[in-house]
Amino acid sequence: MYDVLIVGAGAAGMSCALVLGSAKTKSFAENKRIGLIAHQRTSHLQTALFNNVLGLAPGTLGSDILIQGKEQLDTLYPHVEQIENEKVKSISKSSEGFTVTTTKKTYHTKIAVIAVGYTNLITIEGLESYIEPHPKTVAEKERIWLKNEDHKIEDGLYVAGTLAGWRSQFAIACGSGAQVATDVLTLWNDGKHSHVHDKN
Ligand SMILES: Cc1cc2nc3c(=O)[nH]c(=O)nc-3n(C[C@H](O)[C@H](O)[C@H](O)COP(=O)(O)OP(=O)(O)OC[C@H]3O[C@@H](n4cnc5c(N)ncnc54)[C@H](O)[C@@H]3O)c2cc1C
């Protein structure tokens, strides 16, 4: 049983995983089991080139961020389990949270974060009832969002990144994933607002 399982390892999913992983020294986050379905093949980062993101050197490739993000997670927060070579096929409610079925296995989680991007090619069974036209893109592109309020779809089910209804900018997607992470930390902290900062 995972405490939180993040689906999708693009900008939003990896940012969410990094912030959750970084909370390991907080007593309320100790012993929490965090998983990331680390699928990256269809990430928009695969073809992106960044000149307009604060903190990224101009010319940074999204494909490099995909690799470095996983390495950063693995090096700093190895307790975040990265589940490789699996794609999520379905998600359904269970008595304790959610059952997530991939191309290879079935996982159980108390909280699920969906961060699979806003393409209408989404094929995850169980999410159909939340899918609506994306509110902040041009209609011709037929992008979608999962209807949510402040990233929450329903109790225990969150959406992050472009699929949460945000416009497609790297910083926005990362911020959305980080926001969901702090919402989860706040839940774990009995509703007391939480964030994670390092100091030099
Ligand atoms: C060509 C291009 C250029 C860009 N240039 C810029 C730029 O200059 N500046 C800027 O700010 N932004 C730019 N962007 C936008 C930026 O890349 C996106 O806004 C950002 O990647 C969106 O993040 P996301 O996490 O919502 O989705 P993504 O990064 O697309 O991540 C979604 C993840 O979900 C995974 N996934 C999908 N389906 C499943 C499934 N069933 N199971 C498990 N995992 C799944 C995918 O493999 C992927 O890793 C560009 C995008 C493109 C395509």
Question: Is there a domain that residue 64 lies in?
Answer: yes
| Mean of pLDDT over the chain | 97
The H or E element that residue 102 is part of is strand 98-102
Residue 143 has pLDDT above 90, yes or no: yes
CATH number of the structural domain spanning residue 139: 3.50.50.60
Tokens of 130: 């939340």
Q: How many other C-beta atoms can be found within 10 angstroms of the C-beta atom of residue 26?
A: 14
Phi and psi at residue 160, to the nearest 5°: -140, 155
For atom 35 of ligand 1, which residue has the closest CA?
8
Tokens of 151: 């990233």
Give pLDDT tens digits for 23-35: 999 999 999 999 9
Question: Is there a domain that residue 48 lies in?
Answer: yes
Smallest CA-to-CA distance from 36 within 75, 86, 72, 76 is with: 86
> Would the CB of 126 count as within 6 Å of ligand 1?
no
pLDDT (0 to 100) of residue 42: 96
> Would the CB of 124 count as within 6 Å of ligand 1?
yes
Amino acid making up residue 99: T
37 touches 49 (CB < 8 A): no
Question: Is there a domain that residue 199 lies in?
Answer: no
Give pLDDT tens digits for 82-117: 999 999 999 999 999 999 999 999 999 999 999 999
Atom nearest to 164 CA in ligand 1: 26
Residue 121 has pLDDT above 90, yes or no: no
Range(s) of the domain holding residue 56? 2-188
Number of structural domains the chain divides into = 1
> Would the CB of 159 count as within 6 Å of ligand 1?
no
Smallest CA-to-CA distance from 98 within 148, 153, 146 is with: 153
Give pLDDT tens digits for 180-192: 999 999 999 999 9
Question: Is there a domain that residue 194 lies in?
Answer: no
Mean pLDDT for 43-47 is 98
Residue 122 has pLDDT above 90, yes or no: no
**Which residue from 91, 168, 172, 179 has its CB within 8 A of the most atoms of ligand 1, so it is best to mutate?**
168
> Would the CB of 31 count as within 6 Å of ligand 1?
no
**Which residue from 170, 179, 180 has its CB within 8 A of the most atoms of ligand 1, so it is best to mutate?**
170
Tokens of 40: 């990256």
Phi and psi at residue 87, to the nearest 5°: -125, 140
pLDDT (0 to 100) of residue 192: 98
Give pLDDT tens digits for 125-142: 999 999 999 999 999 999
Question: Is there a domain that residue 110 lies in?
Answer: yes
pLDDT (0 to 100) of residue 75: 98
